[in-house]
Structure 1
Amino acid sequence: MIPRLTAGTRKDTRPAPAGFDRRLIAPMVLGSVLNPINSSMIAVALVPIGIAFGAPPAETAWLVTALYLATAVGQPVIGRLVDMYGPRRLYLVGTGLVGVAGLMGALAPTLGVLIAARVLLGFGTSAAYPAAMRLTRSEAERTGQDSPAGVLTALAVSAQTVAVIGPTLGGILIGAGGWHLVFTVNVPLSAACLVLGVKWLPRTPAAGQRQRMDLPGMALFAVLLVSLMLFLMSPGPGRWYLPALTVAAAAVFAARELRVPDPFVDLRVLGGNVPLIVTYVRQLLAYTTSYAFLYGYTQWLEQGRGLSASAAGLALLPLSAAALVTATVTGRREAVRAKLVIGSVLQIAGCAALLLVGAGSPVWLLLAVGALLGVPQGLLGLAAQTALYRQADPERIGSAAGLLRTFMYLGALGASAATAAFYPHRADTGGLHGLALFMLAGSALLLVITLPDRSLARLTPEPRTPSSPRKA
C-alpha cells in the first residue's frame, strides 16, 4: 500500500506553504511541454532531414511515428513508475533522457540513429505529465485544499500554446543553424527542467520498493499497443496479422493482470470504474475529430482550395486562438459536464459547417470554420483532464494520466488513417465532405455518451483536511 503524501511524509527541509506550492508550477509546466514541442517542431524539419540523408518521405515519416509509438507506450508505463517511486525521481530521469536524446539527434550520423533519438525523446518526455498530475494530487492531500483547476488549466494551456508555436520555432531554428538545432534545443530545455526539478520538487517516499514491478504486464501492454498503432498507421488486408497480434496480446494481458497481486493496470479496479473508462472513450472520440480536422482541413486548404503552405498555416490561426482563449477563460471553473456537452454540440456544428465549404468558399468562411472548431478543442481536452483527476484512483493517478495521453495518440493515429482513406489520391472537396461526415458521426457519439452520464454532475471537490483519510 502506498502511503499518503502528506506534510509529514515530505522528505525535504524547505517550509511547505499552506496552499498549493506554486514553486512546483514552473517545473511541472516546462516538463509537460517537452512532448508537444518535439511533436510539432519536427513537422518543418522533415524535408531538410530527408535532403541531408537522401531519404524519401516514407522513411522520414518514421521520425514522427517513432515519437508517437514511444510516447503512447511510455506514458502509462512511466506513469505507473511515478505512482510507485514518486514524481521527483521519474521527472528527473525522464527530463535527463530528453537532453541525452537531443545530443544524440544533433550528432546523428544516419537516419536510423536519428529515429532512435526520437524514440528516446518519446520515452523521456513521457515522465513529466504523469508526474505533474501526481504532484497536483499530492498537494491536494497535503493541504486539504482540493482545488486544482488553475494548475490543470496551466498544464492544458501551456501544451496547446507550445503545440501552436512549435512549427514556427522549428522554422526559426532551422533558419539559424539547420535541422540539427531542432534536436539541440532539447539540451537547454532538459537542463532547465533538471535545475528546477532538483530545486523545487519534493522528495517523497519510495513506496514502490514494497511492490513488485509487473514487467511481463508492461511488455504485453507494449506489444498490444504497438501492433494496434502500426495497423492504424497503414491499415490494409495485407497487414491482418497486426490486429490478430493485438487481440492475442490483449487476451494474455487481461488474463495476467487479473491474476497477479500487483498488476501494471489493475483491471479489477478499472473495470469497476466505468466513469473513468468512459472518460478514456471520450478522449479518443474528441481527439480523433480534432486531429482529423487538423490533418484533413490543412491538406484540403492547400490542394482543394489552392492556398500556399504559409497561407494555409495562417488560415488555422483562428483555430489555435479560439482553443487557447476558451481554455484560459473557462479553465478555473471545472464544470466538466457543461464543457463536454457544449464542446460536443459545437463540434457537431463545426463538422456540419465543413459540408458547406468548397473550392470557391470565401476566406472568411474558412477562418470561421476553424474558429468554430477551436472552441471545443479548448473545452473537451480540459474537461477530460479534470474528469480523470476526479475519477482515477488516487494511488494510480500517474498511470491513469498516462493512459489518457495514450488514448489521445490513438485518436491521432485513427484520424491519420481516416484522412488517408478519404484522400486516396489528393485532398479534394468530395474527400473533405466525406471526412466531415466521419467527424460528425464521432462528435454525435461523443454527445450521446455524455448526456445520460449522471456521474459527471458529482465531479466536485470534496472538502478535506490534511489529516483526513484518503479514499481509495
Structure 2
Amino acid sequence: MKSGSGQTTPDRTAADQVAGRGFDRRLIVPMVLGSILNPVNSSMLAVALVPIGIALGAPPADTAWLVSALYLATATGQPVVGRLVDRYGARRLHLAGSALVGIAGLIGTLAPSLGVLIAARVLLGLGTCAGYPAAMYLIRSEARRTGVDSPASVLTLLSVSAQTIVVIGPTLGGLLIGAGGWRTVFAINIPVALVTFVLGWLRLPRATPQQKTGASFDIPGILLFAGTLTALMLFLMDPAVADLWLLGLALAAGAGFAVRELRFPEPFIDLRVFGGNTPLIATYARALLAQTIAYAVIYGFTQWLEAGRGLGPSHAGLILLPMSLVAIGVSTITGRRAGFRAKLLVGTVAQLAAAALMLTLHDSSPILILVLISVICGLPQGLHSLANQNAVYFQADPARIGASAGLLRTFSYLGAMVASAAYGAFFRHGADTAGLHDVAWFLIAVAALLLVLILADRSLTRLSAESRKAR
C-alpha cells in the first residue's frame, strides 16, 4: 500500500482487515513494552549502584560506568536502528532487540565482576535501541494507512509509559533489591523481554518486499561517533589538565565524523535531518539539557539518599515514589492539550526549585524535605519528555521519522552521559553531602541554560498552533 506521497507502508494483510480503518490498537501493548525496555533499565539501576559498589568493592566513579556504558551503546546504536526501522519496518528490529535484552539480563544476573556487569549493560543498551523508533514508526505508518493522524492519546500513552517507568524505576528497583538483592534488577529483564518478544511476534506487521532492500553500514562513521563519545566520557569522568588530549581527541573525532556523514550517501547518522530545520535542532538541544538534569537527579540524588542520608535501597526508592505519581498525573492531564512553551517553562522552573532545595540538604535532613524534592521533580518528568517527543513528531520529515525519533533518544542519552560524568566527578570520594551540593549547583547552571533556550525559541508558538489543528 502506498500513500499519496509515495511512501511504502507495512504490509497489514489479514491483520488490516481485522483492525478496520482506525488505529490498530493491538499494536499498543508491544509498542509500549518495547519502548520501556530502555527506561526501566536506566532508572532501576539508580538504587542498585551503592549495593553493587559495596558488593564488588567499587567506588562511585567506577560504578558510574554502569550508567555510561548503557548510554554509550544506546547512543551509538539508536541511530543505526532508527535507519533500519525506516528501511525494514518495525517487526524485525523489535524482535531482535527484545531477544538481546533477555540475553543481557541473564549475563547480568550471573556476572561475577564489575567488568562483566558493564558488558551486560552494553548489551542492554544495544538491545533496547529498537523499541522507541519502532513505536514511532508504527504510529506514523498507521496514520498513512488510515489517512488521518494517529490519535493523540497514542503518543501520550507512549510518553506516559516511558516516563512512568523512568520515575517509578527506583521504587521498583528498591523493592526488587529488598526482595532478592541487586542482581534482581538484571534478572527482571528475562521475563519482560520474553513477553515483549512473544507479543511482537504475534501482533507486529511484517514488512513489505519493498522495505527489504539492502542496507549499507557506515562503519567509519560508527567508529568515529563511538570514539568521540568514549573519549569525551573518559575526560569528563575525571577531568584533569594531563588528560586534555582526550578532549582534543574527542573534538578531532567529532569533526571527522561530521565531515564523513555529510559526504557519505548512506550515513550512520543522517545529519541532513538537521538541514534547514532549526526548530528540530532546538528540540534536540532541549532534550539533552532536560535529561541531563533528570538523570543527575535520578542517579545522583538517589545515591546520596543511600550513602549520604543513610537510607536503604527500598527506602530510597520509596522516597522517589511521589515523583512517579506526580509525573504520571501531569502527563495524563496535559498529554492531550496543545501547547509546548508553557509545559517546558513550568518543568524548567520546577527543576530550578528542586536544585535550590538540594542546596539546603544535610546528613540528617527531615524526610518531608526529601519527599518535597521528589514531588517537585515529578513536574519536569511529566512535562519535558512529552513536549519534546510531540515536537519531533510534528517537526520531523515524515519519511525520516524513525531516524528523527532515534536521534531524540540519542540526545537524551547524551544528557544521561553528561549527568553520569557530573556525579561521577562530584562523588569521586563518595556520595556525600558536599558532593550533592556540587551536583545541585551544576543542575542550576544547566536549568538556567535550558530556560534561556526555551524563551528564545519562537517556533514553539507556531508548533502549538499546528498541534491544535491536528487535534
Is the structural similarity TM-score above 0.5? yes
- Of 284, 290, 313, the match for 1:286: 290
Distance 1:366 1:274 in 2: 39
Unaligned runs of 5+ in 1: 465-472
Partner-residue secondary structure (3-state), 2:13:
coil
Structure 1 partner of 2:67: 64
Residue 25 of structure 1 deviates from its aligned partner by: 0.6
Contact kept, 8 Å, 1:5 with 1:204, in 2: the verdict is no
Range with greater deviation from structure 2 (392-401 or 225-234) = 225-234
Listed as ranges, the matches of 1:337-376 within 5 Å are 337-357=341-361, 362-376=366-380
Residue 326 of structure 1 deviates from its aligned partner by: 0.9
Which amino acid in the other structure matches residue 255 of structure 1? V
Distance 2:185 2:307 in 1: 28
Structure 1 partner of 2:197: 194
- Of 139, 154, 159, the match for 2:142: 139
Residue 407 of structure 1 deviates from its aligned partner by: 1.8
Say if 2:260 is the partner of 1:256.
Answer: yes
- Of 422, 438, 441, the match for 2:445: 441
Structure 2 partner of 1:469: none
Structure 2 partner of 1:412: 416
RMSD of the TM alignment (CA)? 3.2
Which amino acid in the other structure matches residue 272 of structure 2? R
Residue 279 of structure 1 deviates from its aligned partner by: 0.8
Contact kept, 8 Å, 2:35 with 2:162, in 1: the verdict is yes
Per-residue CA deviation, residues 414-453 of structure 1 (Å, 9 max, x unaligned), is: 2233334545545565654443333223222212221232
Which amino acid in the other structure matches residue 272 of structure 1? G
Distance 2:435 2:77 in 1: 34
Residue 305 of structure 1 deviates from its aligned partner by: 5.3
Distance 2:431 2:45 in 1: 22
Which amino acid in the other structure matches residue 14 of structure 2? T
Structure 2 partner of 1:314: 318
Contact kept, 8 Å, 2:170 with 2:317, in 1: the verdict is no
Say if 2:133 is the partner of 1:130.
Answer: yes
Distance 1:94 1:151 in 2: 22
Cα distance 1:408–1:234, how it changes in 2: closer, same or farther (>3 A)? farther
- Of 161, 171, 178, the match for 1:158: 161
Partner-residue secondary structure (3-state), 2:275:
helix
Contact kept, 8 Å, 1:149 with 1:334, in 2: the verdict is no
Contact kept, 8 Å, 2:93 with 2:130, in 1: the verdict is yes
Per-residue CA deviation, residues 202-237 of structure 1 (Å, 9 max, x unaligned), is: 123353626544333233222222322333333333
Distance 1:190 1:312 in 2: 26
Distance 1:363 1:107 in 2: 35
Listed as ranges, the matches of 1:32-431 within 5 Å are 32-43=35-46, 45=48, 56-57=58-59, 61-108=64-111, 112-170=115-173, 173=176, 181-205=184-208, 206-207=210-211, 209=213, 212-301=216-305, 310-357=314-361, 362-423=366-427, 425=429, 431=435
Cα distance 1:174–1:135, how it changes in 2: closer, same or farther (>3 A)? same
Contact kept, 8 Å, 1:32 with 1:159, in 2: the verdict is yes
Cα distance 1:5–1:232, how it changes in 2: closer, same or farther (>3 A)? farther
Q: How high is the TM-score relative to the length of structure 2? A: 0.86
Range with greater deviation from structure 2 (102-111 or 333-342) = 102-111
Unaligned runs of 5+ in 2: none
Residue 74 of structure 1 deviates from its aligned partner by: 1.4
Per-residue CA deviation, residues 118-153 of structure 1 (Å, 9 max, x unaligned), is: 322211111111111111111122223224432222
Cα distance 1:346–1:158, how it changes in 2: closer, same or farther (>3 A)? same
Q: How high is the TM-score relative to the length of structure 1? A: 0.86
Q: Percentage identity across aligned positions?
A: 61
Which amino acid in the other structure matches residue 250 of structure 2? T
Residue 455 of structure 1 deviates from its aligned partner by: 1.6
Cα distance 1:169–1:266, how it changes in 2: closer, same or farther (>3 A)? closer
Residue 258 of structure 1 deviates from its aligned partner by: 1.7
Distance 2:370 2:381 in 1: 17
User: How many residues align structurally?
Assistant: 461
Distance 1:43 1:343 in 2: 22
Range with greater deviation from structure 2 (331-340 or 26-35) = 331-340
Distance 1:39 1:180 in 2: 15
Range with greater deviation from structure 2 (75-84 or 166-175) = 166-175
Contact kept, 8 Å, 1:235 with 1:417, in 2: the verdict is no
- Of 34, 39, 43, the match for 1:31: 34
Range with greater deviation from structure 2 (448-457 or 311-320) = 311-320
Which amino acid in the other structure matches residue 193 of structure 1? T
Residue 290 of structure 1 deviates from its aligned partner by: 2.0
Contact kept, 8 Å, 2:50 with 2:306, in 1: the verdict is no
